[in-house]
């Protein structure tokens, strides 16, 4: 009898809470700024200002992760996010993301984009899965974003 009673309460609470947890996808609006922050040892730190919209009525934490880097459609390596991002509820903000990668990635990128050395813009992109957490529930979503940049745009 007590088990049935507890089971009924748990089911009622789950139904009650499931109606409250409506989720809308987070939107990446673009990149507003990017630059090579440091070249130390064998590592490069890239700072990117990512414009993100969170339409949800609760904050969302984006966990540290690794993303694949692409230049002109070819994968040149991986970059690790150095910091966690917290998206405020119902917000549209710019978030600074620090990515760190090996210098060999930059070498591959330059070799695969000789046109950049002649002043042409190249297509630089990031792809991967990002883990987010809100209200104690985790979800993974795809990130696939690219932008045309020139060497002068990197603020070296």
- Total domains in the fold of the chain: 1
Assess contact for 73 and 11: CB atoms under 8 A: no
Question: For residue 121, is it within any domain?
Answer: yes
40-94, pLDDT tens digit by residue?
888 888 888 888 889 988 898 988 888 888 877 878 778 788 888 899 999 999 8
Question: For residue 6, is it within any domain?
Answer: no
**CATH code, domain with 137:** 2.60.40.1820
Reported as half-sphere exposure (CB side, CA atoms, 13 A), residue 36 has a value of: 18
Assess contact for 64 and 84: CB atoms under 8 A: yes
Question: For residue 3, is it within any domain?
Answer: no
Question: Considering only 82-86, 97-101, 127-131, which range has the smallest mean pLDDT?
Answer: 97-101
Question: For residue 106, is it within any domain?
Answer: yes
DSSP alpha helix (H) spans, 19-83:
none
Q: Which structure tokens are listed for 8?
A: 């009924």
Question: For residue 145, is it within any domain?
Answer: yes
Domain that holds residue 68: 24-154
Question: For residue 140, is it within any domain?
Answer: yes
Question: For residue 95, is it within any domain?
Answer: yes
CA 75 to chain centre: 17
Question: For residue 134, is it within any domain?
Answer: yes
Dihedral sign, Cα of residue 132, residue 137, residue 138, residue 144: negative
Whether the full predicted model's pTM is greater than 0.75, yes or no, is: no
Cβ neighbours for 133, distance < 8 A, ≥ 6 positions apart: 60, 61, 63, 139
Eight-class DSSP state of 63: P
Whether residue 12 has pLDDT greater than 80: no
Assess contact for 73 and 148: CB atoms under 8 A: no
Rounded distance between C-alpha atoms, residue 90 and residue 101, angstroms: 32
């Amino acid at each position: 009898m007590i088990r049935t009673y507890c089971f009924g309460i748990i089911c009622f609470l789950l139904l009650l809470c499931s109606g409250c947890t409506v989720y809308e996808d987070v939107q990446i609006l673009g990149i507003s700024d990017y630059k090579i922050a440091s070249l130390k040892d064998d590592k490069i730190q890239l700072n990117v200002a990512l414009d993100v919209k969170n339409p949800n009525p609760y904050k969302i934490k984006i966990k540290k992760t690794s993303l694949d880097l692409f230049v002109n459609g070819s994968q040149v390596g991986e970059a690790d996010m150095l910091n966690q991002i917290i998206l405020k509820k119902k917000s549209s903000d710019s978030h600074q993301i620090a990515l760190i990668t090996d210098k060999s990635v930059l070498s591959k990128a330059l070799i695969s984009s000789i046109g950049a050395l002649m002043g042409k813009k190249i297509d630089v992109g990031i792809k991967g899965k990002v883990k987010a957490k809100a209200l104690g529930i985790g979800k993974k979503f795809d990130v696939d974003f690219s932008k045309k940049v020139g060497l002068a745009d990197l603020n070296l």
